[in-house]
A and B are shown apart, each in its own frame.
Chain A
Amino acid sequence: MIWYLIRRILMLVPVFLAVSVVIFSILHFIPGDPIDNLLKVGSSPQARVAMEARYGLDKPLPVQYGIWLSKVLQGDLGTAIVARRPVAELIAQALPHSLRLGGLALLFSTVVGVGLGVIAALSRDRWPDRAIMGGVLIGSTMPSFWLGLIFMLIFSVSLGWFPVSGARGWSSLVLPVLTIGLGGTALVARITRVSMIEASGRDFVTLLHAKGLSPLRIQLRHVLRHALIPVVTILALRIGWVLGGAVTVEVVFARPGLGTLLIKSLSQHDYPVVQACLLMLAMAVMLGTLLGDILQAVMDPRVRAALA
């Protein structure tokens, strides 16, 4: 087991390097540069050259990449060119907000998704199943920024239940969590349903029925436990996705966080900040995948046996 862990972690190294190259180059291939946002009317063309040199933007791209990567590996994310603050500080301010929002959205989609999935599986092919699966499909296909605005119009403008935007208190979290969580709910509900239906057809279930256990007890105590293995894996994979999905929702709801920081820095071409934000999101996905694999290994005796 321990070797499996080490192997999985080592495998992340080349992935990390590849991701870092992609992040760095994508940004530098987009037209535009941060200096345009800094230059003031009246400053001389020489000022531009001097500024490029000051931020190291005059060096060839591979050299810039090398400098950036070696600093990142030492834990130094650099200083924001436009925002003028240490990037680590900007990230440290933003990350807790995104984690809270993402964590709650994940919790919401887990609880509601599993619940709906179980109901759908128990009432397979009858109307509750169809209603849930239909509703979930619609919910998951709506773009989140649009869904966010619709929620705002219904719950804030018409009903006045929640604040329109901002990050003051728990009530301001409800709509963003709903907006992000709904997409995940659909996925979790579908997987729970399918894997419960699949598990219901297994031999051990027939045996349990033969032993005379009540069908509901069989479903909830035994079938659900089996069915949850893929659900847990999917949830771990979604850790990174939830953070990424929060990007547009944070902007729509004017909340602080990685997304707001990313979008703002992107429009200013503030390379060090954008790189750090993307790196955080990529690492969340990588760690989520790692966690998913480990959880699966721990929970599934077959995988455990294969590793032993």
Chain B
Amino acid sequence: MTFPFRKTLLSASVSLVALLAAQAVAAQEAVFVMATNEVGAPTYNPVTATVLNTATGLIFDRLISQAADLSYHPGLAESWEEAPDGMSWTFKLKQGVSFHNGEPFNAETVKLWIDLFKATEGENTYMAEAIAEVQVVDDHTVTFVMARPEPNLLYNLSSTFMGVVEPKSFVALGENYGVTEVYGTGPFKLESFTIGQETVLVRNDDYAWGSPLAKNSGPAKVARLTFREIAEDSTAFLELKTGGVDFLLSVPADLMGEVTKEANLAVLTMPGQDVWYMPINVSKAPFDDIRVREAAAKAINQDEILSAVFGGVGAVAHTFLISALPESNVSDGAKISYDPVRANAALDEAGWAMGPDGVRMKDGQPLKVSLWTQSDSIFRRLTEVVQAQLKAVGIEAEITTFDSSMIRDQYKTGEQQLAVRSYNWDNADIVDWFFGGDRLGYPNVSMFNDPKAEELRTAAMTGAKNMAERVANFTAYHDYVLTQFPMAPIYQPVQAVAYNTERITLPEKIDAPSFGAVAFLDLEVKE
């Protein structure tokens, strides 16, 4: 009788030991939920991908890293120099760097990678278009010979799409690169990837070349990261609440309150890369009259929207670009702010007289316009406030809601008058994207096609030799566009992440534009 009992006791203690060991390992692990807009990213191949998620930035290092203020700092390139005419760039590369598969990182690999990048047909090719040739100067120095000056080069090189891939395995694996296997020089290696479901990364223990923007330049502090993809926000929140996951890489505005209610959860906000705005179709009456556009733009009370719709989280927008960009520093006169006196005066000047029911009239016609929005609840809420603000100056706007995935096709009809929408981008070339005369309908929802703007646009896009010139040209272009009122800026949200404070310790300061490699190097899991 004693024997089986002992056996039971023995196996029980064995499993107890195993359990304790498992817990020790678990302390080195953390489970993240990908941002909702990154769900379904099909590959970790930065060269061919159109969507990449946060984990990509942990597998691959870039030549250049970007700080929270969008300034450029060393990555795999230790230093760089640009020729005065913008026709060549020389990069000094970090030494002693190797890829996850043991291959060395040097000048030759940079040349092979750029050649592959340029030769791969796809949507990213344009990022390296201006590079004519890469010359290997010595083992750790390369020169990019340019086909034309590209003042945006550092931005492109700091993009996740220009994560440095290991060229040999890239060629050998072909279509499978980024799906079954992938090799970069980053602080984490890919262990497993199931499209749309889960990615597991393990620490690169040899890592010693972290960006100077992170406190820790050595191997990351967490041994294993699991990234889950959950499309439904409420499901992700319940997982965080019950301890199923430790971290949400995006928290929608409507769940922020729920998260802060929980004692063990916290929200961290970082400057966002979105701008919410109201495009005004300049080609459709009554908005073909600049005075009516000005009135509509100045009727928007950004401060009221910030507090009433977004609970004071985020910032107001007075230009088309996020405030972190130097090109957002336009002249004071160009900034668009709430000014009901001017809005009413402009409408009076344009001949729209206030009618008895609070709607302005001209030639017996009421000032009635359409206001388009998309089906997401936050858009609908914001649009209703915008509608009320327009009404306050005598513009009656009728809201039409379209499904978010279909509204772009509606814009292509050019039938819109006003709309409420948002974009996510951290480079000034977004002004060209949304107001370029050759993209009417979508992306140019405002149908803005102005000869002077086109001239400034050309100068901004291709006329600059270096970064300072590019900033100046884009600022001028942006400034002019604002004075034509093809839109009203509304709001700049923050990026919000949520985490379990009993499990995760975040660094005090994250000097990066988004929650990526810099944050992950310093992040700790509590024992």
Contacts and interface: CB of A to CB of B under 8 A. Distances in A.
B is bound to A: yes
A74 interface: no
A278 B48 CA distance: 27
Interface centre among B196, B229, B410 (most CB of A within 10 A): B196
B345 interface: no
A163 B244 contact: yes
A262 to B, nearest CB: 11
A214 interface: no
Nearest to B425: A41
Contacts of B42: 80, 82-85
A31 B406 contact: yes
A260 B230 CA distance: 10
A267 interface: yes
A176 to B, nearest CB: 12
B123 A40 contact: yes
Contacts of A166: 228, 244
Contacts of B369: none
Interface in B381-410: 405-406, 408-410
Interface size bracket, B side: 35 or more
Given A264-B231, A267-B405, A31 B194 contact: no
Given A31-B410, A83-B195, A269 B232 contact: no
A254 B197 CA distance: 8
B123 A39 contact: yes
A142 B197 CA distance: 27
B126 interface: yes
Nearest to A266: B405
Contacts of A165: 230, 235, 238-239, 244
A144 interface: no
Interface in A154-191: 156-157, 160, 163-167
B377 to A, nearest CB: 16
A31 B197 CA distance: 28
A102 B329 CA distance: 57
B39 interface: yes
Given A165-B235, A256-B197, A268-B40, A38 B229 contact: no
Task: State which size class the interface on A falls in.
Answer: 35 or more
A251 B39 CA distance: 12
Contacts of A41: 425, 427, 429-430, 433
A252 B230 CA distance: 8
A42 B126 contact: yes
> Which applies to chain B's interface (DSSP): helix, strand, loop or mixed?
loop
A164 B409 contact: no
B242 to A, nearest CB: 6
A38 B126 CA distance: 13
A52 interface: no
A45 interface: yes
Interface string B186-200: 000000001111000
Contacts of B49: 84
B442 interface: yes
Contact of A85 (B123, B179, B229, B405): B179
A36 interface: yes
A93 B244 CA distance: 24
Interface in B24-76: 39-40, 42-43, 48-51
A93 B442 contact: no
B115 interface: no
B438 interface: yes
A157 B123 contact: no
Contact of B228 (A30, A157, A254): A254
Contact of B238 (A30, A47, A164): A164
Contacts of A266: 405
Nearest to B461: A42
A84 B43 contact: yes
6 contacts: A37-B50, A41-B433, A43-B126, A165-B230, A251-B232, A254-B229
Given A44-B126, A45-B439, A165-B238, 8 more contacts: A39-B123, A41-B430, A42-B432, A45-B438, A85-B179, A157-B242, A254-B235, A260-B231
Interface of A: 30-33, 36-45, 47, 51, 80, 82-85, 90, 93, 149, 152-153, 156-157, 160, 163-167, 251-254, 256, 260-261, 263-264, 266-269
Nearest 9 pairs between A and B by C-beta?
A: A31-B409, A83-B42, A254-B230, A31-B406, A264-B40, A41-B433, A164-B239, A164-B238, A256-B197
